[in-house]
Amino acid sequence: MKFACFTYMKFSELANVYDEIGKARNDSARVKLLVDTFKRSSGDTLKAVAHFSFGELVPPELNGQLGIGPGAIRKEIAELADKDASEIDDEVRETGDMSEVAAQYGDGKDTLNVDEPWHLL
């Protein structure tokens, strides 16, 4: 089976891959999903996908220099949602996933490519 190569991949597409990996029943299914994504990615997109998959939000040489912690992220989500930070804390506790809470308050636009935050940061 041939896949289209991602020169640019929407961040939402990568998030969908991670959702599928989370739902996979075993390690070999998870590995296959990730390998398929790597095979379909190229250039800067592949580099960004690989780092994001390892949980690296910034290039390793910058790690720890941004000073952005969970509290700052929750504060920004609260501002975006026009809510009190404690309400966002409650939602994060309920879901167990800050990214799930953040996604609820996105504007629905699907314009971010995977390699863009990597270059920005």
- C-beta separation of 14 from 112 below 8 A: no
Residue 15: alpha-carbon gap to chain centroid: 6
**What is the H or E stretch that residue 79 is in?**
helix 70-81
What is the spatial distance between Cα 45 and Cα 102, in angstroms, rounded to a whole number?
Answer: 23
Residue by residue, pLDDT tens for the chain (121 residues) are 444 565 678 888 888 899 999 999 999 999 999 999 999 888 888 888 888 888 776 666 666 666 667 788 888 888 888 899 899 999 989 988 887 788 787 666 566 677 776 666 5
Q: What is the pTM of this model?
A: 0.57
Cβ contacts of residue 5 below 8 Å, gap of 6+?
Answer: 40, 41, 42
Token pair belonging to 116: 């863009």
